Structure 1
Amino acid sequence: MASTLLYIRHMVCVKCILVVREQLVELGLVPLRVELGEVELRDDAATIDWPRLRQCLEAEGFEILDQLSPQQRLVAQIKEIIAHLLATEPAALRSGHFSRQLSERLQRRFAYLSDVFSATEGLSLEHYVIRQRVEAARCLLRESTLPVGRVARELGYSNLGHLSRQFQRETGTSPSEYRREQLTGVQDAATPAK
């Protein structure tokens, strides 16, 4: 039996990987590999209910790409590198370090990579990195008890103020307020109704 390779747009974080995997399993499909922008299924393409698969993924904000252009493949590689750096070496996502690392890994000028990313995704590479770091901060604030300053250090921010400014711009709230809101929501949900 031949496996099926899918390219999926709008997979930008680890949570996206989990959501896509969950949707595939719910449809009775067997994912062999789920990565940012790319899925390999054990299932043969002829046995897949394509309209249903598209509908399920689109309901979650994803889109199956029938054919991936070279630019889209490059963007998928960039996103993979960003996700890897965020998980293993977040300090490498600082401006100067990141541009150098990305250029070296993909053997292309950073200006070219940035232009392709912006044209394909509709937002700058720098803004995408900021969004990913802020999303990682949200996860840490929600799921850990680390002090906010430690969260900033864990994600490679030079100081708490830098994280706070980016977090405020992206979410409309400060990291401390976000954590408080999350804790209040959890406590409210745990309190039985009278």
Structure 2
Amino acid sequence: MSTRRNWTRSRLRRPPTRTTYHRPCNPRSMASTLLYIRHMVCVKCILVVREQLVELGLVPLRVELGEVELRDDATTIDWARLRECLEAQGFEILDQLSPQQRLVAQIKEFIAHLLVSNPAALRSGHFSRQLSQQLGRRFAYLSDVFSATEGLCLEQYVIRQRVAAARRLLREGTLPVGRVARELGYSNLGHLSRQFQRETGTSPSEYRREQHLAITGSHVDGEQ
């Protein structure tokens, strides 16, 4: 009996068997390369850039509007080939930018993205909230950096981009002016007209009429 008890105690005192797990290497803990790329304005742009990177044998950890993080070390990248491939798709790598300039580039890319995908989000209340969430910074800080870098307040830049888009639609298309306002996310035609008048000195309807006369007049001159 005593022998059995001692044997049992010895088994109980034996340290438990340990299983060793090997943690996978976290690629973000390794050296990576951050790129800032101009003219990325939509989800399709993200897909195209990612595809180009993979074709070049690079490993993208993150591809967002205007910003790419690669697992590859900068010294191993064929920069000339990378630039050539991206420029062939209409993109451009931004070089030697200060942190403030990079932030401004990201702001501009996000505005261009909203103009294409969700113009209504450019209304002042929606835009400030979305921009802050997108870049992870307070809107007041983003606005101050933009103004100091560009010499133009962020609100005015957004207005100019929306008016430029309206001019393009009025010049190239046949949509009614009211429809143009809705396409660009304006709450009403009057809002577009006021901003358009301030930026161009003319109303949207007058601008369209002037553009039409300029085109028809050039056609008549050409026929003569």
Partner-residue secondary structure (3-state), 2:142: helix
Aligned residue among 159, 162, 186 for 1:130: 159
**TM-score normalised to structure 2 length:** 0.60
Q: Would you say 1:110 and 2:139 are equivalent positions?
A: yes
- In structure 1, distance between residues paired with 2:132 and 2:177: 32
**TM-score normalised to structure 1 length:** 0.69
RMSD of aligned residue pairs (Cα, Å): 2.2
Task: Considering Cα pairs closer than 8 Å and 6+ residues apart, tell me whether 1 or 2 has the greater RCO.
Answer: 1
- In structure 2, distance between residues paired with 1:86 and 1:168: 20
Q: Which runs of 5+ in 2 are unaligned?
A: 1-34, 42-82
* CA offset digits 1:116-164 (Å, max 9, x no partner): 0000000000000000000000000001100000000000001000000
Q: Would you say 1:78 and 2:117 are equivalent positions?
A: no
> 1:146 aligns to what?
175
Which deviates the most, 145-154 or 66-75? 66-75
Task: Using the aligned pairs only, state the percent identity.
Answer: 74
Task: Tell which structure's C-alpha radius of gyration is larger.
Answer: 2
Task: Please list, as runs of the form range in 1=range in 2, the aligned pairs for 1:11-50 lying within 5 A after superposition.
Answer: 30=84, 31-35=87-91, 39-40=92-93
Partner-residue secondary structure (3-state), 2:174: coil
- In structure 2, distance between residues paired with 1:90 and 1:160: 15
- In structure 2, distance between residues paired with 1:161 and 1:84: 24
* CA offset digits 1:79-116 (Å, max 9, x no partner): 00000000110000000000000000000000000000
Query: 1:34 deviation in Å?
Result: 3.7
- In structure 1, distance between residues paired with 2:118 and 2:183: 9
Q: Which runs of 5+ in 1 are unaligned?
A: 14-28, 41-64
Do the aligned partners of 1:7 and 1:66 also contact (CA within 8 Å) in 2? no
Query: What is the number of equivalent residue pairs in this alignment?
Result: 145
- In structure 2, distance between residues paired with 1:33 and 1:112: 33
Do the aligned partners of 2:36 and 2:102 also contact (CA within 8 Å) in 1? no
Query: 1:66 deviation in Å?
Result: 5.8
- In structure 2, distance between residues paired with 1:188 and 1:146: 21
Paired letter, 2:161:
Q
> 1:183 aligns to what?
212
Q: Would you say 1:97 and 2:126 are equivalent positions?
A: yes
- In structure 1, distance between residues paired with 2:95 and 2:110: 23
- In structure 1, distance between residues paired with 2:37 and 2:121: 27
Do the aligned partners of 1:7 and 1:68 also contact (CA within 8 Å) in 2? no
